[in-house]
Amino acid sequence: MERYNPQEIEKKWQKKWEEEQVYKTEADPARPKYYALEMFPYPSGNLHMGHVRNYSIGDVMARYKTMEGYNVLHPMGFDSFGMPAENAAIKHGVKPADWTYSNIENMERQQKEMGLSYDWEREVKTCDPSYYKWTQWLFELFYKRGLAYKKKASVNWCDTCGTVLANEQVIDGKCWRCDSPVEKKDLSQWFLKITDYADVLLKDLDKLKGWPERVKTMQENWIGRSEGLEFSLDCPALGTKIAAYTTRPDTVYGITFLALAAEHPLVDAICEKSGKAEEIRAFVKRVRNTSEMERTSSESEKEGINTGIVCVNPFNGKEVQIWITNYVLADYGTGAVIGVPSEDSRDWMFATKYGIPKIITLQPRDHELKLEEMTEAYTDKDGVLVNSAEFTGLDIKAAMQGIMDKAEKEGFGKRRVNFRLRDWLISRQRYWGAPIPVINCPHCGEVLVPEEDLPVLLPDDVSFEQGSLSPLASSERFVHCKCPKCGADATRETDTMDTFICSSWYYLRYTDPKNDREPFAKDKVNYWAPVDQYIGGIEHAILHLLYSRFFTKVLHDAGLVDFDEPFTNLLTQGMVLKDGSKMSKSKGNVVSPEEIIAKYGADTARLFILFAAPVDRDLEWSDQGVEGAYRFLGRVWRILLHFEQAVKTGGDAYDVSALTKEEKDLRRVLHTTIKKVTEDIRDRFMFNTAVSSVMELVNAIYTFQDKELNAGLARETARDLLLMLAPFAPHITEELWSRLFAAGSVHQQKWPSYDEEALKVDEVEIVLQINGKVRGRIMLPAGADRAAMEQAAKENARVQELTAGKTIVKVICVPKKLVNIVVKG
Ligand SMILES: [Zn+2]
Ligand SMILES: [Zn+2]
């Protein structure tokens, strides 16, 4: 018999699929659609096992849904702007475009070797002018809608990358890309006004029933909505009022100090009046050089400096010390936070450290707090107010409302909703990105580049010297232009856009990738999108997934799309580990997909990675596991070719009642497997258990290796086995399909359905017990009732022998399981 030779059959089918455009997709409003999408990769040049896992999961869904009768969109592309291309240019003198396109070519080849069902005609590359033209167009749309603006801001600066970072890109005070510490710098930068959508981005998380709770919680925390009171404290020494924000208005009678951010606008005025300007300035400078993350971390040491100036609590007229601290941030609330030591742990520590007074304003219901006995703040949100004027005696909830009412009535405060989410800083002082399409005119100010002049192309006469200016600024030809409004000499914006903008809308472009008149046609985008199943890593929970939701909502409001959430269902796959840790070059534990495919074939690589762990869990690489997957495919190959003759002569309709008992058992295993695999894929993404059921089915077929097998059943079993295995191992199933059935591609067949009748067990084994002890086993029809079970038990020779001469007290029957005869004497 011919050996299973994946190297030969995989190449053959990949070529054929491409020639015959098996995976080409067209919108067809008459058919239900399914949009399966894996997060597109950055073109680093080589696929890693994480990619293999990501794409294999998506490919199973795309192929399965196709077989279920859906019109499936399954595209692939490249998130191809970004720093590594530029670093390669700096280090090796290659052009970023050349570096990028050659990496893309290499990765496409590797993706094609995996046998993925992508419609390659829809491929999108974000660095291509035909794509970034529309990224720029969308920037202009945001600008026209008042959602893009430039302002001078204290920004996160990574010196190693030579660029600013969005808040979302600073992780534990470090750059998300290179891990260097991030500093603050004052620069004029472009922002997208994502805060305008904070409320709806939060509220609509409820719509995302098909998203992991964990991701939704991360977004909720990132958006960080709080309801509270903003009120002002009079500061006679400075002749002004200071606004403060609190989410605990019920505690205002316990305020003993006011903590200001080092960046607070009153710091200069305070220095002047305090008589210790130098000391304060030195402290402020030190604080401003520490990262935001350090300042807000619960572990970091809270520090402050007493300014010696006081303000007045408007609720009770008491004096409140003004401190400048390291833990308040300028852009959260008002940059001034009330200090209530008795009810806040941080304030307690701070007040204890610096000897600031404490006042108890909340007493628990079951015991009485005394300041001199307390060693920490009382932070339970339950109790009765004390020392709080007319609010004394109320519970927290009533006091909150009453206190906010009072502030509003007396005109020194207002209810306010506050968000942790900041506007999205999108300008980068880097070359390899989409240029921001704005011209600065000495007369007209900021002017958008007219639509007909898009795209603003990247210049290639640039120098890659690092600094706070983008390399684009070094191209005279790029910088100097005429104002589109008045014709005067003007200059171009030289910053490029954060690449997360490019990836915030690529899934929409796939629906109409070659459109050169608009980013996508309305009918096409509304037919295909939103994405039905999105698959990617958990690391994108906030950045990419939040930005994409924001983009979709803006496009919805602008009337470009009919839906307002981009991804209906989200699957976050686990990592691929080796020896317990993530594969990485530095750990030397990388297994290259190319090598595995060269040795065993893509079907083995795919099958192993889908079988080795549930999709959302981490997967431990195992060489034996890969060997096992390869051996299994070899078994499938041999047994189906062994029955080739029977499969070819068997009819599609055959007499099931003529099957032997063993054959009926095989047919039951087949139909049970179809039911299980269908439900595992469709309802649970349990690809690992689906594969293991298919393996059991193959074991069941092997029991006929040396026996006669009914040709009709052989045909039915071979057909359904190939159909079920096709989404997992597309090449071997296609090859066997062409040899055994020869009717079109296995990937264009209908998914098998199961026969309820076939699931029923004909005969079951019944355990015979006497006084609870097992004394024998008999086979009975599965439908046998209690009377029939009892009769059969009593007729059993061994039972008769053991009960002879005794009195039967009781017979207990458990249908399909056992008969227990209770005897006496
Ligand atoms: Zn960096
Ligand atoms: Zn002008």
Give Cβ neighbours of residue 425 (< 8 Å, ≥ 6 apart): 153, 155, 156, 164, 165, 166, 167, 189, 190, 191, 498
* Alpha carbon of 480 to ligand 2 centroid (Å): 13
Q: Which of 104-113, 161-170, 432-441, 805-814 has the lowest mean pLDDT?
A: 161-170
* Alpha carbon of 164 to ligand 1 centroid (Å): 9
Integer Cα distance of 335 and 717 in angstroms: 71
* Alpha carbon of 496 to ligand 2 centroid (Å): 22
CA distances for 95 relative to 84, 98, 493, 653, angstroms: 12, 5, 22, 63
| Residues around the ion ligand 2 (C-beta < 5 A) | 441, 443-444, 483, 485-486, 488
* Alpha carbon of 149 to ligand 2 centroid (Å): 18
Q: For all residues of the chain together, what is the average pLDDT?
A: 94
For a pLDDT cut of 70, what percent of the chain falls above it? Answer: 99
* Alpha carbon of 60 to ligand 2 centroid (Å): 55
Q: What φ, ψ does residue 287 adopt, rounded to 5°?
A: -65, -40
Mapped onto helix, strand or coil, the DSSP state of residue 11 is helix
Mapped onto helix, strand or coil, the DSSP state of residue 500 is helix
Integer Cα distance of 165 and 169 in angstroms: 6
For a pLDDT cut of 90, what percent of the chain falls above it? Answer: 82
Mean pLDDT in residue range 260-279? 92
Could you say which ligand is closest to the alpha carbon of residue 490?
2
100 burial class (0-12, 13-18, 19+ CB within 10 angstroms)? buried
* Alpha carbon of 155 to ligand 1 centroid (Å): 14
Could you say which ligand is closest to the alpha carbon of residue 164?
1
Residue 600 in tokens: 């065993």
* Alpha carbon of 97 to ligand 1 centroid (Å): 21
Could you say which ligand is closest to the alpha carbon of residue 485?
2
151 burial class (0-12, 13-18, 19+ CB within 10 angstroms)? exposed
- Confidence band for 517, pLDDT divided at 50, 70 and 90: very high
* Alpha carbon of 439 to ligand 2 centroid (Å): 9
Per-residue model confidence as pLDDT tens digits over 184-218? 888 889 999 999 999 999 999 999 999 999 999 99
592 burial class (0-12, 13-18, 19+ CB within 10 angstroms)? middle
Contact 2, 634 (CB under 8 A): no
* Alpha carbon of 472 to ligand 2 centroid (Å): 21
Per-residue model confidence as pLDDT tens digits over 717-751? 999 999 999 999 999 999 999 999 977 899 999 99
Residue 466 has pLDDT above 70, yes or no: no
In this structure, the number of other CB atoms found within 10 A of the CB of residue 273 comes to 15
CA distances for 712 relative to 648, 651, 654, 746, angstroms: 9, 5, 6, 19
Integer Cα distance of 447 and 454 in angstroms: 14
* Alpha carbon of 819 to ligand 1 centroid (Å): 73
* Alpha carbon of 176 to ligand 1 centroid (Å): 7
* Alpha carbon of 668 to ligand 1 centroid (Å): 59
Could you say which ligand is closest to the alpha carbon of residue 439?
2
Tokens 């993530």 correspond to: 582
* Alpha carbon of 41 to ligand 1 centroid (Å): 20
Could you say which ligand is closest to the alpha carbon of residue 175?
1
* Alpha carbon of 489 to ligand 2 centroid (Å): 8
Could you say which ligand is closest to the alpha carbon of residue 161?
1
Could you say which ligand is closest to the alpha carbon of residue 181?
1
The amino acid sitting at 62 is A
Per-residue model confidence as pLDDT tens digits over 369-401? 999 999 999 999 899 999 999 999 999 999 999
Give Cβ neighbours of residue 215 (< 8 Å, ≥ 6 apart): 538, 541, 545, 570, 572
Could you say which ligand is closest to the alpha carbon of residue 443?
2
pLDDT for position 825: 75
* Alpha carbon of 486 to ligand 2 centroid (Å): 4
Integer Cα distance of 288 and 303 in angstroms: 13
Give Cβ neighbours of residue 241 (< 8 Å, ≥ 6 apart): 232, 233, 234, 235
Could you say which ligand is closest to the alpha carbon of residue 440?
2
pLDDT for position 177: 84
- Confidence band for 467, pLDDT divided at 50, 70 and 90: low
Per-residue model confidence as pLDDT tens digits over 336-366? 999 999 999 999 999 999 999 999 999 999 9
Contact 482, 489 (CB under 8 A): yes
Could you say which ligand is closest to the alpha carbon of residue 448?
2
CA–centroid distance for 397 within its chain: 37
In this structure, the number of other CB atoms found within 10 A of the CB of residue 400 comes to 22
Q: Which of 405, 409, 395 is nearest to 361 (CA)?
A: 395
Which ranges in 68-95 belong to alpha helices (H)?
83-92
The amino acid sitting at 437 is P
Contact 389, 316 (CB under 8 A): yes
Residue 468 has pLDDT above 80, yes or no: no
* Alpha carbon of 157 to ligand 1 centroid (Å): 8
Tokens 């690992």 correspond to: 688
* Alpha carbon of 37 to ligand 2 centroid (Å): 44
Q: What is the pTM of this model?
A: 0.84
